[in-house]
Amino acid sequence: MKLWVAVVMAAVWVSAAGQGAVTRPRFEAFDVATVKPLKEAATGRTMRMEGVHRFVMHNFTLTRMIAAAYDLNTRTISGGPGWMDEEHFDVEAIAPGEVQPTRVEQMTMLRTLLVERFGLKFHRVEKEFAIYELTVAKGGSKLKAAAEPDSPPEIVGVVYPGKIEVPAKSVSMDDFVAMLQRATLDRPTVNKTGLVGRFDFTLDWAPDESQYGGELPKSAEDVAVPPLFTAVQEQLGLKLTATKGMVSAMVVDGAVRPVVD
């Protein structure tokens, strides 16, 4: 079970909060970083902060690193060399300063690493995709305003037998949609709720093979929680609808294998 917890934590992420009135550095790049290709196939992915400074990624392809760094669904990333989707890497890096960077700050530093170590070059295009739209369901939203709206967003995924639990604090609808499209769902997802501000909520659902890249074990037939689309409507008062729409996609113009440290 620990394996699958690691997979979800990698995709969903935890942001640091409650760090006090400490002067924050400009988190533009890691102080040092090591990138190593995996020589043997591995199972499960992890991405996390270990303490204040140490940032760790395990078993990520370059495509999945890009998806995490830019809040993209992997379907919206095209171009680049074929090994982007085939070769896996570990990353260990040290963040500057004396406070733990938030998720946004972590991803800013990861973007710099992708340019410096992988030579990432790209351009953006608007393209039509099969997507999901997140809207307010009939009957209205069931979301509660965040108790601490000025704190960094926290959105954590934990896997239990037969279900995913996502407690969220100080999360905007854009934060929620970003999580769904970069990690959970098999399509890009667009926020059409019109809801502003930040919210606290907990979402429980039974995953299926279309979610998390098919890497999670199938839920038991007698699981006591509903599937994701039902859970979103019943627990949050929101609705996910399959449709087509224009999305900002990324075309990779160039990338190189990193020099082995």
Given a contact cutoff of 8 angstroms between Cβ atoms, the answer to whether 251 and 78 are in contact is: yes
pLDDT category of residue 7 using cuts at 50, 70 and 90? very low
Average of per-residue pLDDT values in the chain: 87
Cβ-contact 170, 120 below 8 angstroms: no
- In this model, does residue 223 exceed pLDDT 90? no
Question: Concatenated DSSP letters for 43-107?
Answer: ---EEEEETTTEEEEEEEEHHHHHHHHHT--GGGEEES-GGGGT-EEEEEEE--SSSPPPHHHHH
Give the up-direction half-sphere exposure of residue 130: CA atoms within 13 A in the CB hemisphere: 5
Q: Is the pLDDT of residue 25 over 70?
A: yes
DSSP annotation of 212 reads G
Which pTM value belongs to this model?
0.83
- Which span out of 20-24, 123-127, 162-166 was modeled with the highest average pLDDT? 123-127
pLDDT at 159: 76
**Residue in the block written with tokens 């224009």:** 246
> Position 130: which residue type?
A
Q: Between 81 and 3, whose confidence is greater? A: 81
Note the pLDDT tens digit of each residue in 45-69: 889 999 999 999 999 999 999 999 9
Half-sphere CA count of 142, side-chain side, radius 13 A? 15
What average pLDDT does range 191-200 have in this prediction? Answer: 97
**What pLDDT was estimated at residue 156?**
77
pLDDT reported for residue 221: 59
pLDDT band for position 12 (cuts 50, 70, 90): very low
**Residues above pLDDT 90, as percent of the chain:** 69
Percent of the chain at pLDDT exceeding 70: 87
pLDDT digits (tens, 9 = 90+) for 131-147: 999 999 999 999 999 99
Given this model, what pLDDT does residue 14 score?
38
Check residues 162 and 90 and name the one with the higher pLDDT: 90
Q: What is the pLDDT of residue 15?
A: 39
Query: Average pLDDT, stretch 78-92?
Result: 96
Banded pLDDT at 215 (limits 50, 70, 90): low
Res 201: pLDDT? 97
